[in-house]
Structure 1
Amino acid sequence: MHNRFPFLLLLAGALVLFCCPPARAQEIRANVSVVAGQVQGVDKKIFTTLQNSIREFLNNRHWANDAFTPAERIECNFLLNVTGVSGPDSYKASLTIQATRPVYNSSYVTSLLNIQDPNVVFRYVEFQQLEYSDTRIVGNDPLASNLTAILAYYVNIILGLDYDSFSPRGGDVYFKKALNIVNNAPDGKDVSGWKAFEGNRNRYWLQDNLLNAKFLQFHDVMYQYHRQGMDVMYDDVNKGRAAILNCLNMLYSIHQDIPNSMLMQTFFSAKGEELLKLFTKAMPQERARAAELLSQMDVPNAQKYQQMK
């Protein structure tokens, strides 16, 4: 059984009506949407078929080494917004990925990941099988393999963040799988997002940050934020909030060494609203410290945080 703690098992009874039978209880429960409102001249039925294929691809594969019970499956959303046609049976799109984690002793779920990837190009012929192998990521057709490589990459990022939140450095094995996908990614004329030189906010940089020794403390933050912060809130709000403020201090030390990193941006994209709510109700001194730290680290939302003071 996956080493997430026993409270998840308490959810099993409540979830059993909504879950797949145990034999199909994989690691993630992905809600998949494919929208193609901007695409002209293509039978829209293709995108319904694609949506079903992606859902099966994500939900019916074993991605992790541990066995998950139905109640332990990680809830996530994949929204593929197809924006145009790039060639015969080929499309360009953006992909929005969200994943959450339950909080101990509550019905609350906390966001682990909330990210948009604008660099998705792929080839899809209706009813074709979505194929992926860890050992042969590029496949025979780079454009057809690109979609499954991207999906597998984000599944491993989600698994890594989830495991990090339950045990210290628990996610390393999955971040390394994401690195393997980056290193062996499809390469083609329109394929992008896998290489360092293609920008400072892409798949390459996210996994680089997650495995870079300079961000070692980030993994401590993921564990402490969730296990010593969120998971103790039910019993002691002040203790949980103090642990999360300590996490902000740790993140600030990373920010001082490496400002404007993709990993920090990704963290605050997932956690910004939650942090705002948490510290709005804090004691004045804690609230002021949180506002000061957050407004420096998450500059696009600085004005929101300043209002907490």
Structure 2
Amino acid sequence: MHKRFQFFALLTVLACYCQFTQAQEIRANVSVIANQVQGVDRRVFTSLQNSIKEFLNNRHWAKDAFTQGERIECSFLLNITGSSGGDVYKANLTIHATRPVFNSSYVTSLLNIQDNNVAFKYTEFQQLEFSDTRVAGNDPMAANLTAILAYYVNIILGLDYDSFSPRGGDEYFKKALNIVNNAPDGKDVTGWKAFEGNRNRYWLQDNLLSAKFLQFHDVMYQYHRQGLDLMYDDVNKGRASVLNCINMLYSIHQNIPNSMLMQVFFSAKADELQKLFSKAMPQEKSRAAELLAQMDIPNAQKYQQMK
């Protein structure tokens, strides 16, 4: 049995979900906002919201069978910023995904990211389709939306699996790579190529599969399974494991400063880390604050306040 499911088997709070029926892997809350768009029937955006929700929640994304209680909680907020006519829109997409912590009601953030390079074509009541073997589909602009959604679902699955077993997410990061390699192409389609910037979909999957970041996957496992999941029984031991993860991250930072992967990690974990070490022993708190401030400059002041 995969370690992810061994973990959930231990959660008594999920006992009521132990049924023979299977459920899809994602429980996504979807919101579409289009306040900046004029001259378009609002019903189109209601239809789009329902289509995305159905696409994310009713499709099988992983090889393992998930029960209702094991579904990954996440949110997708699509903010449409403009329309160029012909049912073509520009938008930004904010994705947040969480994971439960053992023996607690607390959930920890796995991913918290905003993608500003979303362009797509959609007509009312259009069914969203996606195939791993035909990512670009027949219409690149229509396919771009489903490619982006499928890409982030695989990133979420990979991070979730990584947090339950060593290198557990590799299969899903490779699926994300397949989407990048076969992504739709067009003059308004961006975010899939290395030369289009150093903070986009290409670079996130590149970092996740790069040998230079192998230690990051150890961090994901140790941070969650040997850190957060142990805190119910021994707070100090769990916090010590998290501090060891910070040391490992600092080693990555020294070799590859200012990477996208590290930025993504701290976007999800900064508030949690600040709270986690605010009650630590002075020496432990000082060490964490020093390293975190160097690695996560946007939140440096927050960490310095822990001292």
TM range (shorter): over 0.9
d(CA) in 2 for partners of 1:279 and 1:12? 30
Alignment partners' CA distance in 2, 1:25 and 1:5: 14
| Secondary structure of the corresponding residue to residue 250 of structure 1 | helix
Q: Offset of 1:159 from its aligned partner?
A: 0.2
The aligned residue for residue 4 of structure 1 is: 4
* Per-residue deviation, residues 73-119 of structure 1 (Å, max 9, x unmatched): 10000000011102310000000000000000000000000000000
Matched residues in 1 for 2:44 and 2:225: separation? 43
Secondary structure of the 2:163 match is: helix
2:134 equivalent to 1:154: no
User: 1:188-247: per-residue Cα shift (whole Å, max 9, x none)?
Assistant: 110000000000000000000000000000000000000000000000000000000000
**For the Cα contact (< 8 Å) 2:22–2:67, is it kept in 1?**
no
The corresponding residue for 1:194 is 192
Task: Report the CA distance between 1:167 and its aligned residue.
Answer: 0.2
Paired residues in the alignment total 305
Residue equivalent to 2:102: 104
The aligned residue for residue 238 of structure 1 is: 236
Letter in 1 for 2:158: G
Q: CA deviation at 1:128?
A: 1.1
Which amino acid letter does the alignment assign opposite residue 66 of structure 2? F
**2:112 paired with 1:114:** yes
Q: Tell me how far 1:124 sits from its aligned partner.
A: 0.1
Q: Is the Cα–Cα contact under 8 Å of residues 22 and 70 in structure 1 kept in the other structure?
A: no
With the length of structure 1 as denominator, give the TM-score of the two structures. 0.96
Deviation at 1:15, TM superposition (A): 6.4
* SS in structure 2 of the partner of residue 166 of structure 1: coil
Residues 2 and 67, structure 1, Cα contact 8 Å, conserved in 2: no
- Name the structure 2 match of 1:301: 299
Gaps of 5+ in 1: none
Give the distance between the partners of 2:85 and 2:280, measured in 1 at CA. Answer: 54
Tell me which of 172, 175, 185 is aligned to 2:173. Answer: 175
1:124-176 residue CA offsets vs partner (Å, 9 max, x unmatched): 01011101000000000000000000000000000000000000000000000
Please point out which of 81, 89, 92 is paired with 1:91. Answer: 89
Structure 2: where are the runs of 5+ without partners? none
One-letter code aligned to 1:90: V
Q: How does 1:235-274 map to 2 (within 5 A)?
A: 235-274=233-272
Of all paired residues, the percent bearing the same amino acid is 80
Tell me if structure 2 keeps the 8 A contact 1:7–1:105. no
Question: C-alpha distance in 2, partners of 1:262/1:5?
Answer: 30
Q: Aligned equivalents of 1:3 and 1:137: distance in 2?
A: 31
**Residues 81, 15 of structure 1: alpha-carbon distance in 2 compared, 3 angstrom cutoff:** farther
Q: Is the 8 A contact 1:101 1:109 kept in 2?
A: yes
Q: Normalization by structure 2: what TM-score?
A: 0.97
Counterpart in the other structure of 1:47:
45
Aligned-pair CA distance for 1:308: 0.8
Question: Retained in 2: the 8 A contact 1:165–1:226?
Answer: yes
Offset from partner CA, 1:220-276 (integer Å, 9 cap, x none): 000000000000000000000000000000000000000000000000000000000
